[in-house]
Chains A and B, each alone.
Chain A
Amino acid sequence: MATAAHTDPGFQDCRNAWVAALEQLAEADPRIVAVVNDSVGSSKLGSFQKKFPDRLINVGIAEQVMVGIGAGLANGGRIPFVSAASCFITGRALEQIKADIAYASFNVKLVGQSSGVAYGELGATHHSIEDFAWLRPLTNLTVIVPADAWETAEAVKWAAAHEGPVYLRLSRMPVPDLDIPNRSFRPGQAEVVRQGDDLAIIACGTTVHLAAAAATRLASRDIAARVLNFSTLNPLDEAALHAAAATGAIVTVEEASVRGGLGGAVAEFTSAHRPVPVERVGFPGFLPTGSTDWLFEEHGLSAEGIEAAALRALRRKG
């Protein structure tokens, strides 16, 4: 099984699921519009633009007004999907997200594209590994990090139907569909990818399939790891966290900074309710340039790296 590779031919670019879902929704609901910062191509919205030329609002390279316009469109009765590279929409327009969208509680869907280290070689300016920490305290903003193409489409559909602000964090790096029978998308609830009671591996986004692969490796050591797809970062599924802490050891895995993201959230929760060892797998801070795959491998975002973190957590379990 591939570890960190995003090049497996069976893997899918979730952006295709995003645009297919959005176009389908827009056919049915004229209120749906897209707002971009000249990011038609990177948001894969070329076909949307052809089908709905008036409903693709390109504000130019101007993220602050892009997000503000999203709030205004919602005031005027539209359902805007505001889409841009996640490093820019969350970093450049953070105060607009806070004040105009979350605090003002406008029905706007923010879509962060090419998140994490998808732009690996472009360097830390284009990495979006801080967005979880920036957005998680915005209590009114639902934050969803789909793990695969299926969940991406479901999250887009749910966001359109949900009345309230949402941040969807998408990736451009291909991932496999998770092997879970009879799935249904439940925002705010962690999805069990694999059962196990020796420890819990809590992952989100592009790292969930790696966590599943790590659990397979752990099974050969007779270690039963529970794997959770923690796709809703805000609000937290506290019941799932209680249950995860009950295993006695937790590993968190995210394509994000280990400061203030999923790992931070889990550590906050466990320290308050049930202190257990928490090993956080992710990025330590500004990263060197390098391919996405290299950055993943280098920072333990691989089946082997997550397995090693699990063994560390189990040693600390006591």
Chain B
Amino acid sequence: MLTNDKVPLIREKALWMRRTAFTMVHRAQLGHPGGDFSAMDILATLYFGVMNYDPKRPDWAGRDRFVMSKGHATGALYSALCAAGYFPEEWLPTYMQPKSLLNGHPNRNYLPGVETNTGPLGHGFPVATGIAIAGQLSGASYRTFVLTGDGEQQEGSNWEAAMVAGHRKLSHLTLIIDRNRLQQGAGTEETSGLDPLDEKYRAFGWEVFEVDGHDPAALLALLSAEPGGKPRCVIANTVKGKGVSFMEGVASWHHGVPNAAQYEQAMKELV
């Protein structure tokens, strides 16, 4: 299939995932929809255009890995894993209910397709670095993709990982930064500024690209490009809450939850 032929499927899946995630959040009256929605097109592109995996064999050694370092964005991750066939839709309404497999933050021991447990920020990227080292040691061809939030980049552990990955030239590792420019209470630049992220990662030995994080064709081209000689950092410029008018660019939707009227309106917009 030509790369661009996948774009309609990615768009269709991303729409389903947004509707699904918002329904989960509405039902649970819990969640992080702002960050779910900024990441949604990235996940849809990875799972329906880029990654090589088999939901029937989640432990297949040769699978491409996706690590959700921003572990609070379970609305995005669970809707993607469900759409990818890792678990049935019937599980979705249990989101955050007592003893649900769909925990507020992902747990690999409960849920197939989850590569590592995340939640505290700055954990997924180091683990993804270890996965990439394992692949490099054995000459494996699998690729490792890790998504961090942009505010998450304030955690120092990420820069330890950036240094190790750059030093070891982990060509099969791709870091995607969900650059929605908002953390939970305010803008990243007014909290503890991150710019220029591109120059920082270049200085750490990475190839750096910037992309519209809501443009599946552009994401697809970038993320499916053959690995080069360095780890790759993709700064995906996104909008928190993307796709629902009243959430877009509003920090309080980081962990805001919709009332009935807001839910109805969102469902009307997400078509």
B126–A69 touching, CB < 8 Å? yes
B134–A72 touching, CB < 8 Å? yes
Residues of A within 8 A of B137 (CB): 33, 54-55, 76, 78
Residues of A within 8 A of B160 (CB): 59-60, 62, 64-65
Q: If A75-B115, A99-B118, A104-B109 touch, does A68 touch B123 (CB 8 Å cutoff)?
A: yes
B131–A68 touching, CB < 8 Å? no
Q: CB within 8 A of A104: which of B108, B126, B133, B163?
A: B108
Chain A residue at smallest Cβ distance from B158: A65
Q: CB within 8 A of A100: which of B61, B107, B123?
A: B123
Residues of A within 8 A of B126 (CB): 64-65, 67-69, 71-72, 96, 100
Q: If A60-B164, A62-B164, A100-B116 touch, does A76 touch B123 (CB 8 Å cutoff)?
A: no
Can you list 27 A-B contacts with CB-CB less than 8 angstroms, sorted by A residue number?
Answer: A33-B137, A59-B164, A60-B160, A60-B164, A60-B167, A62-B163, A62-B164, A64-B126, A64-B157, A65-B161, A68-B125, A68-B130, A70-B130, A71-B116, A71-B126, A72-B132, A72-B133, A73-B133, A76-B131, A76-B133, A76-B138, A78-B137, A96-B123, A104-B107, A105-B108, A105-B109, A106-B116
Q: How far is the CA of A80 from the CA of B126 in the complex (A)?
A: 15
A298 contacts B by Cβ under 8 Å: no
Residues of B within 8 A of A96 (CB): 123, 126, 157
B252 contacts A by Cβ under 8 Å: no
Q: How far is the CA of A105 from the CA of B108 in the complex (A)?
A: 9
A99–B131 touching, CB < 8 Å? no
B157–A72 touching, CB < 8 Å? no
Residues of B within 8 A of A64 (CB): 122, 126, 156-157, 160
B120 contacts A by Cβ under 8 Å: yes
Q: CB within 8 A of B117: which of A70, A74, A76, A104?
A: A104
Q: How far is the CA of A103 from the CA of B117 in the complex (A)?
A: 7
Give the residues from 45 to 94 in chain A that come closer than 8 angstroms, CB to CB, to chain B.
Answer: 54-55, 57, 59-60, 62, 64-65, 67-78, 80
Chain A residue at smallest Cβ distance from B117: A104
Q: How far is the CA of A78 from the CA of B137 in the complex (A)?
A: 10
Q: If A64-B126, A100-B117 touch, does A72 touch B163 (CB 8 Å cutoff)?
A: no
- CB proximity of B130 to chain A, nearest CB, Å: 2
Residues of chain A having any CB pair with chain B under 8 Å: 33, 54-55, 57, 59-60, 62, 64-65, 67-78, 80, 95-96, 99-100, 103-106
Q: How far is the CA of A142 from the CA of B108 in the complex (A)?
A: 19
B127–A75 touching, CB < 8 Å? yes
Residues of B within 8 A of A68 (CB): 123, 125-127, 129-130, 157, 161
Q: If A54-B137, A103-B117 touch, does A72 touch B156 (CB 8 Å cutoff)?
A: no
**Would you call the interface of chain B mostly helix, strand, loop, or mixed?**
helix
- CB proximity of A148 to chain B, nearest CB, Å: 33
B134–A75 touching, CB < 8 Å? yes
Q: CB within 8 A of A95: which of B120, B130, B135, B164?
A: B120
- CB proximity of B16 to chain A, nearest CB, Å: 28
Q: How far is the CA of A106 from the CA of B131 in the complex (A)?
A: 12
- Shortest Cβ-Cβ A-B pairs, 7 listed: A72-B130, A76-B134, A68-B126, A69-B130, A65-B160, A104-B117, A62-B160
**Would you call the interface of chain A mostly helix, strand, loop, or mixed?**
helix
Residues of A within 8 A of B128 (CB): 72
- CB proximity of A302 to chain B, nearest CB, Å: 41
B32 contacts A by Cβ under 8 Å: no
Residues of A within 8 A of B164 (CB): 59-60, 62, 65, 69
Known pairs A65-B163, A73-B130 / 7 extra A-B pairs, C-beta < 8 Å: A62-B164, A64-B156, A77-B61, A78-B137, A96-B126, A99-B123, A104-B117
Residues of B within 8 A of A99 (CB): 117-120, 123
Q: How far is the CA of A76 from the CA of B133 in the complex (A)?
A: 8
Residues of B within 8 A of A70 (CB): 130
Chain A residue at smallest Cβ distance from B140: A76
- Among A33, A70, A71: residue with most chain B CB under 10 A: A71
Chain B residue at smallest Cβ distance from A55: B137
B65 contacts A by Cβ under 8 Å: yes
- CB proximity of B60 to chain A, nearest CB, Å: 11
Q: CB within 8 A of A78: which of B109, B120, B134, B157?
A: B134
Residues of B within 8 A of A106 (CB): 116
Chain B residue at smallest Cβ distance from A80: B130
B135–A69 touching, CB < 8 Å? no
A75–B120 touching, CB < 8 Å? no
- CB proximity of A96 to chain B, nearest CB, Å: 7
- CB proximity of B138 to chain A, nearest CB, Å: 8
Q: CB within 8 A of A57: which of B109, B115, B133?
A: B133
B116–A72 touching, CB < 8 Å? yes
Q: If A76-B135, A99-B119, A100-B116 touch, does A71 touch B61 (CB 8 Å cutoff)?
A: no
